Chain A
């Protein structure tokens, strides 16, 4: 043994114990997982300590989503632990979900013993190969002596730069092998050094452009949330007096109740946000990536000349779909700080006269009242449920969602004033995300109200996690907008497929009230608009119970406005046009 030069003498332990010690050193509070053959020793090590708590899900997809939801709601790295083979393939959907939305996550997967790799052993898959395209990075640890350093790298890579999931695949024999454990304090990787500060010259140029703008627009995405830059963004937008819009991933980055906020933009964005985006002359894009659901057809977007400033930590996000004039690669909070200093130090003021005219134009667009719906309906309108949910929770709940119409209505009608309150699968669009994500979000914020807005189709994709909620007493409120259709699929079939509703009708639905009850929860069915608010109050009043609210909503309601696929941002379909 080498002489113990340092004060912290390295201790000898098994690979399994090293894994747990690494998690402890990273300050990991919860591991979401499911045991199996290849991870038995890791579970054994988990069992023999009480610093890192384990949450047993009912399906590995749930483990990945729960770790993801935990990360989104907490600024921390989410951790999930699955076994080899089907354990990890089940988790792939959750890993890809986190990858598309740049969520910091570490996935630990068991693997067959090193001597069995490649021999088609029981529960063997090429985990590193399968997950390669949907992780920020992955590792196969073949030597127990490299385990601690690999875990350190995994957490470092997951949380720095543009965050993302990192997978560590550990063969079973590595978990039983013995090594000295010493967790490195710092890490230097010659091949991985994300840019932090923006280029000062570019920041000067950006400030100049922002001050000269006649029709400015600020467009921000998930990068503002992930880098905890909401306060700085709010300050900047207020100093400038510019209008601001958030993407689906960026909601809560700027307070939704602020008069400078134009609502969400994109395929189901507000009329005013999309029109202002299309017609602005200077666009400041922050932590957003001009994706197809946001700007639609880039050629149409390009028909109006404008100068674009794009701030992003990932250089490959810049000029990917839209050419930009002032690229600024850097960490969003650092760049926003530098921009603020530049603006405040320069002594120049934005062009107030031009801004006034621009705001007058925006008010005209707002007057379209693009989110209006039939408030007198005798059938429950889904928008009404979300509006009441907002009222009943005081606008302060953490809202997770699944994917589809309910997701869009939640994004449109729940006004998020703070970051990390809106948790949804934006990039991958994963049905089944909402409930397990709510589990993670609640465990990260046990003193907060957590609501899962879902539909009767999405919820069934991870319904088994109701059992996890029972086991850990998680009083999540499930707001199910039950229209007996895969609503968004039905909407597209109505608009673009001649009303041929191919397989979008959810026949043979379970009785969700009794289903919730069979899992030991409370279920409430709501069929009348007048019962919506009382039911929500009843449910949210039950602080210790999970309540499943099954709202029978209008089957034919559609999400408006809508930019059809391949169209330009200003080519919206509005409710009254149909």
Chain B
């Protein structure tokens, strides 16, 4: 039973810089299902983060969304009872307007790669959480534990004690030890893992319908990474939240995602269920990526680890046809360098953009 939450349709994000126009995202189509995790994978600069920013309508200057749309199936809670559905085109909204600001944080939360610099140094962990709650007035009502929720319902404005209680509760939920003390800690007094937990607590304090995690564990060591991923999985189950998980770590994707989109040079090249992708990758790029992972416990064959030949192309001078063709081991001359591949269904829930699977 899947129900779309965010549909990105033929999205193009362009940066008009002096040397020319860079297409950071070029004709991307993907769907994020309610309550599911979509992994987005690709190398640096392939447009993963730009897609995430585009969803929140936060493309930095001089970038522009020049084509396509992002449809958000908003579900409003009316007195905590009935559900009102609303379809919003995020790209149409005023990027500084009230509606998008309600959605940001309130309905779509985001956490970042660098927990070290994602918290404002002059505010305590508790102050950050309270800010997020205060920015989206209604949210604490349906959020934190029942006993607090009752108190919160009674008042329109949170008292200091209630706000603090909410913050402590949120910190406890993300597994920060001694949350009642840590709530008063400044960012420089927290470790990297704790800061990322605080970031997650901030994002979750408004119980968003979706969390965009932009390489949330890249800056953390592996044991902390495992803890953070566990917390995200647990919390996702408890609040039925969708996650868009951006990473370049295939191992993390395998353990987190339900579905995976592989991106290359601003385009989706393959989308599949996570098992399908790892077992039965279709696109030569995905296949090459999977081959480049070292396997623990595998018998030594003496062979070198596979790498993808060539370099990432110059974004100002993209190859014609399929952008991957100069590096592709399956390159078909006269075809791949002439014709741009289209989004083809190869299996149930399995799409690929490659001429190998197209009748041309």
Partners in one complex: no
What is the interface of chain B, defined by CB distance below 8 A to chain A? none
